[in-house]
Amino acid sequence: MQTKINETGRSMVEILGVLAVIGVLSVGGIMGYKFAMVKYAANATINDVNLRSTTLLQQNESNKKLSLGEFDEISTMGYPFTPINEDLVDNEFILLEFSDVPKDVCNVVQQNIAQQTNVEKVLVNNDINGCLLDKNTIGVYFQAPNILVEENEEDIECPGRQVAINGKCGCRIGYMFNDTCVASCPSNSTFSDDLKSCVCDAGYVMQGTSCRTGCAAKMQLTDDGTRCVCSNAGEYLSYSGSCNSCNGGESDGFNCISCAPGYYLNSWSGYTYCASCPSGATCAGGTETFVCNEGYQRANTECLRNCPSNSSFDEETQQCVCNEGYYYSSSASCYSCKGGESDGFKCLYCGEGSYLDISGACYSCPANSISCTSSYDFICNEGYYASYSSCNSCNGGTASTDGKSCETCASGYYKNGSGCSSCNGGTSDGKNCLSCLEGYYLNSSGTATSCTACITNSTCTSATDYTCKE
Whether residue 352 lies inside any domain: the answer is no
Whether residue 136 lies inside any domain: the answer is yes
pLDDT tens column, 196-209: 788 999 999 998 88
In percent, how much of the chain has pLDDT > 90? Answer: 30
Do 96 and 81 form a contact (C-beta atoms < 8 A)? yes
Q: How far apart are CA 1 and CA 335, in angstroms?
A: 44
The alpha carbon dihedral of 185, 186, 187, 192 has a sign of negative
Q: Which long-range contacts (CB under 8 A, 24 or more apart) does 139-143 make?
A: 139/95, 139/96, 139/97, 140/49, 140/95, 140/96, 140/97, 140/98, 140/113, 141/93, 141/94, 141/95, 141/165, 141/166, 142/49, 142/53, 142/93, 142/94, 142/96, 142/117, 143/92, 143/93, 143/119
Query: Which stretch of DSSP H or E encloses residue 12?
Result: helix 2-27
Q: How far apart are CA 255 and CA 249, in angstroms?
A: 10
pLDDT category of residue 106 using cuts at 50, 70 and 90: confident
Q: How far apart are CA 124 and CA 137, in angstroms?
A: 11
Q: How far apart are CA 379 and CA 352, in angstroms?
A: 14
The confidence score (pLDDT) of residue 116 equals: 56
Q: Which domain holds residue 414?
A: 383-468
What single letter denotes the amino acid at residue 362? C
Whether residue 448 lies inside any domain: the answer is yes
Name the phi and psi angles at 29, rounded to 5.
85, 170
Q: How far apart are CA 384 and CA 231, in angstroms?
A: 50
pLDDT tens column, 313-335: 999 889 999 999 999 987 789 99
Name the phi and psi angles at 249, rounded to 5.
-90, -170
Q: How far apart are CA 402 and CA 171, in angstroms?
A: 28
Q: How far apart are CA 266 and CA 301, in angstroms?
A: 9
pLDDT category of residue 146 using cuts at 50, 70 and 90: very low
What mean pLDDT comes out for the span 376-391? 84
Q: Into how many domains does the chain fold?
A: 2
Of 99, 119, 153, the domain-final residue:
153
The CA distances from residue 126 to 37, 91, 99, 123, 167, in Å, are 24, 19, 13, 9, 15
CA 304 to chain centroid: 32
The CA distances from residue 431 to 165, 269, 272, in Å, are 51, 45, 53
- pTM exceeding 0.85: no
Which of the pair, 88 or 380, is modelled with greater confidence?
Answer: 380
Of 95, 119, 153, the domain-final residue:
153
CA atoms within 13 A on the CB side of 119: 29
pLDDT category of residue 135 using cuts at 50, 70 and 90: very low
Whether residue 271 lies inside any domain: the answer is no
Of 153, 180, 209, the domain-final residue:
153
Whether residue 387 lies inside any domain: the answer is yes
pLDDT category of residue 124 using cuts at 50, 70 and 90: very low
Whether residue 318 lies inside any domain: the answer is no
Whether residue 211 lies inside any domain: the answer is no
pLDDT category of residue 126 using cuts at 50, 70 and 90: very low
Nearest to 265 by CA among 243, 281, 287: 287
Whether residue 312 lies inside any domain: the answer is no
The CA distances from residue 413 to 26, 395, 441, in Å, are 29, 8, 15
What mean pLDDT comes out for the span 155-177? 65
- When computed from its CA atoms, the radius of gyration of the chain, rounded to whole angstroms, is 28
The confidence score (pLDDT) of residue 45 equals: 76
Contacts of residue 230, Cβ cutoff 8 Å, sequence gap at least 6: 218, 219, 236, 237, 243, 251, 253, 254
The confidence score (pLDDT) of residue 162 equals: 67
